[in-house]
A and B are shown apart, each in its own frame.
Chain A
């Protein structure tokens, strides 16, 4: 094992190389560009034996990935923001055809107004495309989850594509120390992809994506729903195996941090989790009973795990870096759905939209709001916008 100081983008690219991807089809977009640039160098330098296609748009890139994956080979791409939006219609095809493409998405605000910084309004609207989504916190997790993503996606009980979501710049362009797993250990962990459900081969013809009348599509939807639910178990298994082989345990669907005895729990996703760990430590030291849940998987959604968390605290806050206008943040909406029938207050805290820095005072305010709700048993404001000029949090 080698430790190097690298960016999240480098970790995402290197992980694809360790996974021995067969096809990479991509189009560059800030802040993801370096992922495909690094990969093109690896291929050029003979380090990676992989077909590399630079396409003319993300729509074409995802179409190429669908076609490549349908021939039964391990397929990879990366994108961000508008690029993901442009892929939108093709994402459904990968999902419904059960093509386990792996795609890091560097979360970047979707225009307008145009910006390049972190927001989750690119990945959140893709939640119903049949793709799994995992949100990561640091560059080590970018590396580890990209490799695990292949194993989860290619599991015969799942066979669904997956997005590994990392925050723009905060991870993509930030260097920090990362353990590089050994190739032979990765090879053992991740055997070659050998599917039989979708393999385009002229010698053994099959039809993929044919015109289908209403007699069939509802069953196809149910298959996607069932395999997405199967993924709940597979994520835990793969996490456990990773922890055993590589010594890093991410908790699976969610990670709990100091939730024992906590009255107020904040559910975060993405990089805000890291700063929130410091604030939990600070508040705990001051005798404030707070805890943290890092929501890792948004699809499949860990309903049971969230319910377990809710049954041991007095109030929950859900952090979102995106908003569904007039309805609240998507992660909060999901949590409230999971917690139907629970009587504790579940509030939404919104911050960091458009890439605005989420500061320590911001996160303290989040915990204060949840603590207040825990104490009173109700919340004055269910949806709290933090750090928005002219809006009282």
Chain B
């Protein structure tokens, strides 16, 4: 039995990666399960997915708390989330990063593989979606499944969702990443703070969860608590606004799901301000702008 925990962000395809790994293992004659765990259902929010593989039927229906492997689709997560929490001492981390394994900090010194999956994805798919590339790194680093099985797993899972043509591109991303993976040992010098979640007992919990704004040791809760939630760390691309092209139609403001666009100034001096600490880089504003006044830049 081996257990893998994937860390990604909503929209990065962690769930499909977990499923494709399960399919790959299954095609090698194993029993395999893959399942998601969604937090807030928002594009860009940290999400987890899991794969469990064994020779015999798997009965466990719980989440994975002590994984043998962790796979991190977005290296910016490692500073925010204790991705190595519970990772076995002889386990391994597979990380999307352009850094060498030796420069990765996980709060735990373990075997570590890195690959710049974002660049691989941009080259092979034209999009920064790293879920297929990272599986190539998994095959290379662990040797638990062959790259051929990974390709078959991607064709199976991605193929049924996005069609054979795009699946083949993703399979290619895995193959390229396979070749570019480096394996070493990561650093474990910093310590992640445990907890950080507001978990009141039933008596402290406001009745029926009807909540007024409250300061808790774990941060703000209730209306307005978004102030604490700096979704700006989620982005790969940031909007760049061109006031000369802008006609102040406010379509971008209307559609921005994170309220990151603000109107400033008076009269003719009116313009827009993009609050990058909250902008999660979804690109919706650029897509909606009728004047092409917003460009998304990495």
Contact = CB atoms under 8 A, between A and B. Distances in A.
Interface string B208-251: 11111100000000111000000000000000000000000000
Contact of A215 (B199, B212, B222, B223): B199
Contact of B223 (A70, A98, A205): A205
B208 A98 contact: yes
Contacts of B208: 96-98, 197-198, 208, 220, 223-224
A207 B210 contact: yes
A46 interface: no
Interface of B: 39-40, 197, 199-202, 205-213, 222-224
Nearest to A204: B212
Contacts, number: 62
A198 B211 CA distance: 8
Contacts of A98: 207-208, 210
B40 A211 contact: yes
Interface string A214-240: 011001101110110000000000000
A86 to B, nearest CB: 23
A205 B224 contact: yes
A197 B211 CA distance: 9
Nearest to B41: A211
Interface residues of A, number: 26
Decide if the interface of chain B is mainly helix, strand, loop or mixed: loop
Given A206-B223, A207-B223, A213-B39, A219 B211 contact: no
Contacts of A198: 207-208, 210
Interface string A189-209: 000000001100000111111
Given A197-B207, A198-B207, A198-B208, A206 B201 contact: no
Interface of A: 70, 96-98, 159, 197-198, 204-213, 215-216, 219-220, 222-224, 226-227
Given A205-B224, A206-B223, A207-B222, A219 B202 contact: yes
B211 A206 contact: yes
B205 A220 contact: yes
Contacts of A159: 207
Which 8 pairs show the lowest CB-CB distances between chains A and B?
Answer: A219-B202, A98-B208, A205-B223, A97-B208, A198-B210, A208-B210, A197-B207, A206-B212
27 contacts: A96-B208, A97-B210, A98-B208, A197-B206, A197-B207, A197-B208, A198-B207, A204-B212, A205-B213, A205-B223, A206-B211, A206-B213, A206-B223, A207-B210, A207-B222, A208-B208, A208-B210, A209-B209, A213-B39, A215-B197, A215-B199, A216-B205, A219-B201, A219-B202, A219-B205, A220-B205, A223-B202
A227 B200 CA distance: 18
Given A219-B202, A223-B202, A210 B211 contact: yes
Q: Which of B40, B201, B202, B213 has the most CB of A within 10 A?
A: B202
Nearest to B201: A219
Given A98-B207, A98-B210, A206-B222, 18 more contacts: A159-B207, A197-B206, A197-B207, A205-B212, A205-B224, A207-B222, A208-B208, A208-B209, A209-B209, A210-B211, A213-B40, A215-B199, A216-B209, A219-B205, A220-B208, A220-B209, A222-B202, A227-B207
Nearest to B38: A213
Contacts of B199: 215
A202 to B, nearest CB: 11
Nearest to A99: B208
B95 to A, nearest CB: 26
